Chain A
Amino acid sequence: MSIENEVDELYRELILDHYRRPRNTQFIPEAQHNAEGLNPFCGDQINLQIMVDSDKVIQSIGQQGNGCSISQASASMLTEVLKGKSLEQAKSTNNCFRRLLEGETIEDSELASLGVLEALAGVRKFPVRIKCALLAWTTMEDALGDSE
């Protein structure tokens, strides 16, 4: 694949759309789980709030931040994909997404659970940007802590 194609894969339309029009940016003060994620190397920053019901299903999820297109699109996509999922499912999506970025082959059945996140697969070719794509997910891990 030429570098031009790789760049196009990195900046797919869906990614830039999430970057320009981030989803779920409302702040949720009553959320049980929240965290701030910071990538000091580049100054990317994400705040995440996750509100769950008594069955540990994500009722609403909010994110606010600033940074590069990849970090912000990933955060926006995270909120879209995780809404309505259980915390258990959220953790397995996190795991699956990380494997996708590490270049592992993901089974079609699992790929479906990633939804729009599959658009970020192009980041694999840009190792220095993987950290950008993972910031929201590391922040989610911090927010959920040891919660079961």
Chain B
Amino acid sequence: MFDPEDIKKDFPILKRQVHGKRLIYLDNAATSQKPIQMIDAITEYYKKYNSNIHRGVHTLSAEATQEYETAREKVARFINAPNVKSIIFVRNTTEAINLIAYSWGLKNLKKGDEIVLTEMEHHSNLIPWQMVAKQTGATLRFIPVIENGTLNLDSLDTIINGQTKLISMASTSNFLGTINPLDLIHKRAKEVGALLMIDGAQSIPHMATNVIDMDCDFLAFSGHKMLAPTGIGILYVKPTVLEKLDPFLMGGEMIKEVWLDHATWNDLPNRFEAGTPDIAGAIGLGAAIDYLEALGMDNVRKHEIAITTYALEKIKEIEELTVLGPKGIQNRGGLISFTLANIHPHDIGTLLDSEGIAIRTGHHCVMPMHRKLNLPASARASFYVYNTYQDIDIFILGLKKVVDYFNNVDRKRG
């Protein structure tokens, strides 16, 4: 039984007050809150079996290694990866994309090759490719975004062509909330023989994922947006592609045999995990996945559709508010970006904060798309498993107060 009121009880932070009011946390697209089960898992590790992994024969090291590798198995199962070796632990989505940019992009691309992105990408899926393009002479091409926040696929066959070597794009936009039609992009990618990289930061925490069905070559996502700690991220690489991929970071753990002048690489996936990793983070991620699987990812998505639909409906009560992104719920994730009359997002954010409501304001690391929409900034409310209809009601009430405040300020003081 999926009951957000019950779920809320598992999150200690949601009991706190902000400015004397109950915290209403609506900044989940930035990072999610953490359940006590996950916090306990990390505490347990540090209290009872803290140790380095894959080294030493002592009990603690064996236990830590066991839990770390169990977390990897949980991730593999969570996204239906064909094998555990295809899961590489990194710091976050950004590092995962950079790993591919350096280890695959710089090595395989040359002048004349094309990398296709969309205009709505987070900076983390734009800047690494700008670097690759600059260093290799490859060209960046962009699938345009139309007014309603969806991709314009009219010229897809021209943009993705024989020169295209890689398509890298978000499954769900962190700014517009758009759920992109990956199946159509995938179909075209296969037609031209290009690899497909998915920035899954905004979709993996929110819906069931099956990388075999998606048939993507790379998938990057972050633990901290799915109830896990900050500092642990995941890169999935399709096994056939992974075999040919050179290591990214060099050092301990990623080697098999070392001489003074050369070395051989470790087996997969350790070849890509140089140095001591975020062991506690991985164990926390494992606990977070347990939590999400107990809820059921289909239920998570169902709840998000329900609550976002409710919010989109209630928000209509505020005439001055403009919702950005898709109008329908089927191709929208659990977030709503908006502008409010001529009230700057930062002023909205400060006033809502005084009501205990946390939202994101600014450009959300998507400056080019804001520029295209002619917006210096926007406000964003994003939802997760513990958000209730009552949270939305308080949020809407808060927005009405913001409008009143700025409308009435002269009268109030007159």
Q: Does A13 contact B409, Cβ atoms closer than 8 Å?
A: yes
Stretch at the interface among A24-32, A66-74, A100-108: A66-74
Q: Does B19 contact A3, Cβ atoms closer than 8 Å?
A: yes
Residue among B19, B361, B376, B405 with max Cβ neighbours from chain A (10 Å): B376
Given the known A-B contacts A43-B377, A44-B376, A66-B376, are A16 and B346 also in contact in the complex, defined by CB atoms under 8 Å? Answer: no
Q: Does A112 contact B (CB under 8 A)?
A: no
Q: Number of residues in B with C-beta < 8 Å to the partner?
A: 21
A2 partner residues in chain B, CB cutoff 8 A: 20
A10 partner residues in chain B, CB cutoff 8 A: 350
Q: Does A52 contact B (CB under 8 A)?
A: no
Q: Does A4 contact B (CB under 8 A)?
A: yes
B362 partner residues in chain A, CB cutoff 8 A: 41-43
A135 to B346, CA, bound (A): 14
0/1 interface trace, chain B 371-414, chain A, CB 8 Å (1 if under): 00000110000000000000000000000000001100110010
Residue among B347, B370, B410 with max Cβ neighbours from chain A (10 Å): B347
A44 partner residues in chain B, CB cutoff 8 A: 346, 376
Q: Does B354 contact A11, Cβ atoms closer than 8 Å?
A: no
Q: Does A132 contact B (CB under 8 A)?
A: yes
Q: Does B347 contact A68, Cβ atoms closer than 8 Å?
A: yes
Given the known A-B contacts A6-B354, A42-B377, are A70 and B346 also in contact in the complex, defined by CB atoms under 8 Å? Answer: yes
Q: Does B105 contact A (CB under 8 A)?
A: no
Q: Does B363 contact A (CB under 8 A)?
A: yes
A16 partner residues in chain B, CB cutoff 8 A: 406, 409-410
Nearest 8 Cβ contacts at the A-B interface: A68-B346, A68-B344, A43-B376, A3-B19, A43-B377, A13-B413, A3-B354, A7-B354
Chain A residues in contact with chain B, CB under 8 A?
A: 2-4, 6-7, 10-11, 13, 16, 40-45, 66-70, 126, 128-129, 132
6 contacts between A and B (CB under 8 A): A3-B19, A3-B20, A43-B367, A43-B376, A66-B376, A129-B350
